[in-house]
Amino acid sequence: MSFVPEKSIYFSPTLAATIGLEEAILLQLLQECLSHHDIRIEDGLRWANLKEEKLLELAPFWKPNDIMRYMSCLQAKGILLFREERRCEVKSYNFAFNEHKQKREISTLDKSDSQKKSTIYRSTSSQQSDQTIKNDWRPGTDCLRQLYQLGVSHEFALQQIPQFVAYWRERNVAKHSWESKYIKEVWREWQKAQSNNEQRRKEIKLTDDWTPSRDAIEILVRNGEINSNFVEDAIPEFILYWRDRGDLSSTWDSKFVQHVRRQWHFYSGMTKEDTMPKPISESWQPRESVYDVLQMANIDRQFADQLLPQFVIYWLENGASQASWSTKFLQFVKGEWARGKQTQITESSHGKQFERNPKGRIRDRNIIEALSDRSWAS
């Protein structure tokens, strides 16, 4: 082992506190390698090739797996782009810094000048005392460069200055380094903005062919012990309501689970009240809780009342007995609401198509199916 002083590795303490010590060290090593290797331009980015053995020589305190892990972390943070290559058992890395969103003045700053300023800053920062932020405070070039290394766009960083200054001016707090505080807060806001953007990219409108995922069905049927036919019958009304609203969401499954659970709670209460099968009477009226469930399903009460006479007539002629006529009527209304409002929706779980009925009445050909097709209401 040689005791001759080796070349020192300089890195930003603030950057290390933000992205991790190892990542900050690796970032500095890669920056130095980029300035001493042949560069090729691809898609507007500066790419360099670095052999793994060279990187291990620069950082003998790491193993190959360590380097791969830290490079992957930098890539996940949007700071670094890289790909592995292996030729004749020699492993190397093609890498580039993600500079697409940066302003030219940030990405082309003179490196030696930046290093001089960093050295001056490191030697004098310990002598600076805590002070409150000034009204005309602005981050320095090195501060913006560190944010650039984190993947923060130049525009975003500058947009945060007014609110940052106003916030800390109002609190009149003294800090040792406002640039360090600025980097941490801008980085946190950048991550929050990126997360929100990713969430918005996942948001979609509800379409006619939407179906809940298997996980959502399992939560309702297996975990919630809700009848599977009840769950399936709730799909058309759910689609109708949210499709017409035109809302965007990335959590349609969660909304559907809540939608079904609320209805099932009221439905279960109705079935507990009626236990003895009996035929329907001419003066039969549904329980008020039926309309509560229909309201949850966004189905008009007037629509349900219009269907009541034909429902009673059919079951008077049929002569069958039911333990709960209210749940039977609820099922019938929900089915007719889907048939009457939906145009050309194919429900994959049923394998049948709902068609619009211009008169708003059940079709004679399908009356038996419409009135007695679902097991959960029997």
Q: What are the average pLDDT values for consecutive 10-residue runs of the chain, which has 378 residues?
A: 59 77 86 78 81 84 87 83 78 78 42 44 49 88 84 86 89 86 89 74 78 90 84 84 80 88 78 73 88 85 91 89 84 81 45 41 41 48
CB 149 within 8 A of CB 27: yes
Radius of gyration of the chain, Cα coordinates, nearest whole angstrom: 33
pLDDT of residue 227: 82
**Cα torsion 50, 51, 54, 55: sign:** positive
Separation between Cα atoms, residue 104 and residue 221, nearest integer Å: 57
Q: Say what the pLDDT of residue 122 is.
A: 45
C-alpha angle with apex 77: 182 to 189, nearest 5 degrees? 35
The beta strand positions in 255-357, using DSSP E, are 278-279, 321-322, 345-347, 352-354
What are the respective helix, strand and coil percentages of the chain, to the nearest 5? 60, 10, 30
The one-character DSSP state at 358 is: T
pLDDT of residue 114: 47
Give bridge partners of residue 346 from the DSSP assignment. Answer: 353
Which of 368, 284, 369, 289 minimizes the C-alpha distance to 327? 289
Check residue 110 and give its pLDDT: 41
> What's residue 311's pLDDT?
92
117: tokens are 């300023």
User: Per the structure block, which two tokens stand in for 229?
Assistant: 């036919």
Q: Which tokens belong to 334?
A: 């929900």
Q: How far apart are CA 102 and CA 45, in angstroms?
A: 11
pTM, to two decimals: 0.36
Give the integer Cα–Cα distance in Å for 212 and 168: 47
- The whole-number pLDDT of residue 78 equals 79
Provide the pLDDT for residue 285: 92
Q: Which domains does the chain have, with CATH numbers?
A: 13-97 (1.10.10), 129-202 (1.10.8), 205-377 (no CATH)
At 275 the pLDDT is 63
Rounded Cα–Cα distance for residues 333 and 301 (Å): 10
Cα torsion through 66, 72, 75, 76, rounded to 10: -120
pLDDT at 331: 83
**What token pair was written down for 181?**
């505080």
